[in-house]
Amino acid sequence: MQKLQAYWLLSKPRVTILVWLTTAAGLTLGGWGQTLSAGLIVATLLGSWLVIASANALNQAYEWRQDALMTRTAQRPIPAGRVSPLEGWLIGALWGVMGTLTLALWVNLPVAVLGALSILLYAFVYTPLKQRTHLSTAIGAIPGAIPPMAGWVAAQGGFSIEAWLLFALQFVWQFPHFWAIAWLYRDEYAKAGFHMLPYPDATVEATARLALWYTLAMVAISLMFAPFATHSWLYLLGAATLGLWAVRAAQRFLKSPDTPQGARTVLISSVLYLPLLLLWMIISL
């Protein structure tokens, strides 16, 4: 039982659940107005879960030595000694193969390709780049933005403007979210050799300012969904309200950059903003 719990933690369940929910939202939005088979729904949700869990497990297997240096990650299964690095690689690879095959056999090939691409970019490009360049965040945001697009493509069978808007929204959303984390844990990241701030030697003021600009871009993208909503005015009302809340959180970070509360406010608001906005999209269809 303890081993199974350790394997479960390899998936980074809280992160996986949040990202997986965006796949479910994309599937719901793409499938609105049509009848999706139960098999397609189950295969999409199961396959996407396995793909996301695979990327997270492989990430932990790759950087377990760095995780051991940071207080917030030292108790992860591999640095804590509950799972060996080899087990991490094997479990991550198994989940990846199972997830990709599930998507290829019971959903469609484009979604399977998106799943495989997200694993490769996250585990084998983004992860090693974290110790080499601050641009790793931009690279990591690509696989991080694929899940809602994959959900849409699973329902529709192909790409569309809406799918790309979902991708763009989640791509931009990740920057203020990760920069808030990067600033809160900057000392630990530096000890582990990770380059997570916007650019080398970025000050807190610069980090907060960029977080605000990217939050504004995120809100602008969210408003672009209005023409596709059945009740456009209703969608705009909710999206603008959520956007104002996110912008005000980013402004508080900029106004009080020297206190942890500013960055923490951005982190909390970002975690809540995305699922709430996607839910509002579904409600206002």
Each residue's pLDDT tens digit, 122-164? 999 999 999 999 999 999 999 999 999 999 999 999 999 999 9
DSSP state of 122: I
pLDDT at 2 over 90: no
Within a 13 Å sphere around the CA of 181, how many CA atoms are in the beta-carbon half? 13
The percent of residues above 70 in pLDDT, for the chain, comes to: 100
**91 residue type, one letter:** I
pLDDT at 33 over 90: no
Q: With cut-offs at 50, 70 and 90, classify the pLDDT of residue 230.
A: confident
Question: What is the phi/psi pair of residue 153, to 5°?
Answer: -65, -30
- Between 115 and 229, the more confident residue is 115
Q: Which pLDDT belongs to residue 257?
A: 80
Helices (H) then strands (E): counts for the chain: 13, 0
The Cα–Cα gap between 18 and 152 comes to: 17
Q: Which pLDDT belongs to residue 87?
A: 96
263: its two tokens: 């960055």
Q: With cut-offs at 50, 70 and 90, classify the pLDDT of residue 256.
A: confident
The Cα–Cα gap between 150 and 171 comes to: 13
